[in-house]
Amino acid sequence: MSVVVIIAILFGLNYSSRAEHCSISQFSDTQVGTDRSRYGKITMLYGDRSDTTYQTFDRALQTHAHHARRHNYQHHVLDREVVEGVWSKTFYLISLLVAQLSKADHLEWLVWSDADTVLINSEIPLDIFTPATDDLLFQDVMLVMARDQWGMNSGHFFIRVHPKSVHILTRAFAYPFSHEKEFASRRGHRIRDQLALELLIQDPSYQKHVLWAPSSWFNPRFFEIRPGAMCGHFYSDENRTAHMQEWMAKQDQDANRLQIPYEETFYPEEVEHWWRLNKDCRRTLTDTRKVVNEKKGNESLSKSLSTMEEACLWHSDNTTQLDGILRQVKQEIELLHLTS
């Protein structure tokens, strides 16, 4: 299937669903905020409303709605399947990106949350996780994501409102068609849309568009949730419904204990350290490239450049590893300057 055909399908879906996805009767307060908000929270929930799992997800969705109201974010919920299979999420995101890009004053980031995420601490703002719009060091970053022991996890992530993001998601949808044999060999992977995106961003031409953040910040599993954490993600949990209900019961019983001001959580120190290291990594990468051009033929320096490139692309979520690589490369460059 060609990308042109895919885009045509998406525009058709956007047109047919645009009247519904922002005005859902059972979630009457889930589209909040104004067009001046930088962020839009996105999710989807549909199915048998009498089912216990659905009702649990519905309750979890209200925690996100509260977070949106607290910070004046827009909140969009898809309440029906728009395409067969797992691709409603991808199509819905693309339709919202296109809708935003058609506006002169559009959102800057969309934040996707799966239905099995619970927003625990509404005091945590979203802007701490994304680069500033005018920060040239991160101008190519379109996705801020986390990963677990299995790889990339797309249950809770940030995507920039940008034409490139539309391109990335469209290519991800097309991946099973453009790489049919490779995709078919991964039949054991149960989350097909996540797999397609993960395989796509491993391509060298897409790697620079992803910034990896620590999963404990916005995508921790239920046993990784720390005091003050913004949310929890209850995937791959045999007792998912029970654990979600347990956390939401804590909110009902003692909400003040969970609503910890940002300044009093673990976030300020960790986030500041993470941004400082990643900015330093990208600046050092630029400096290393300049030195490599000046000292052509230096194999050790070329190796350091490769190390820095890999660090910026793949190790941005590991501050310990990133710090070690930075120290090593800086020392090597300093030594080179001293001996030249």
Contact 118, 63 (CB under 8 A): yes
Work out the pLDDT band at 304, boundaries 50, 70, 90: confident
Work out the pLDDT band at 270, boundaries 50, 70, 90: very high
- Report pTM: 0.89
Q: Residue 158: name the closest of 130, 177, 118 by CA.
A: 130
Per-residue pLDDT, 189: 66
Q: What is the pLDDT of residues 194-253, one digit of tens each?
A: 999 999 999 999 999 999 999 999 999 999 999 999 999 999 999 999 999 999 999 999
Contact 110, 144 (CB under 8 A): no
Q: Please, how many CA atoms are within 13 Å of residue 266, restricted to the half-sphere of its CB?
A: 12
Q: What is the pLDDT of residues 98-155, one digit of tens each?
A: 999 999 999 999 999 999 999 999 999 999 999 998 999 999 999 999 999 999 999 9
Contact 95, 18 (CB under 8 A): yes
Q: Residue 127: name the closest of 144, 114, 148, 104 by CA.
A: 144
Q: How far apart are CA 214 and CA 216, in angstroms?
A: 5
Per-residue pLDDT, 188: 66
87 vs 190: which has the higher pLDDT: 87
Per-residue pLDDT, 340: 63
Tokens 């909140």, residue located:
75
Q: How far apart are CA 86 and CA 192, in angstroms?
A: 7
Residue 198 is classified by DSSP as H
Contact 46, 78 (CB under 8 A): yes
Q: How far apart are CA 298 and CA 284, in angstroms?
A: 17
Q: Residue 339: name the closest of 301, 309, 289 by CA.
A: 301
Treating both helix axes as pointing N-terminal to C-terminal, what angle do 267-294 and 299-314 enclose, rounded to 10 degrees?
Answer: 150
Question: How many CB atoms within 10 Å of residue 105?
Answer: 8
Report the chain's terminal Cα–Cα distance, integer Å.
56
E strand or H helix that includes residue 311: helix 299-314
Work out the pLDDT band at 300, boundaries 50, 70, 90: confident
Q: How far apart are CA 77 and CA 277, in angstroms?
A: 35
Task: At 317, list the tokens.
Answer: 């979520």
Q: How far apart are CA 182 and CA 174, in angstroms?
A: 13
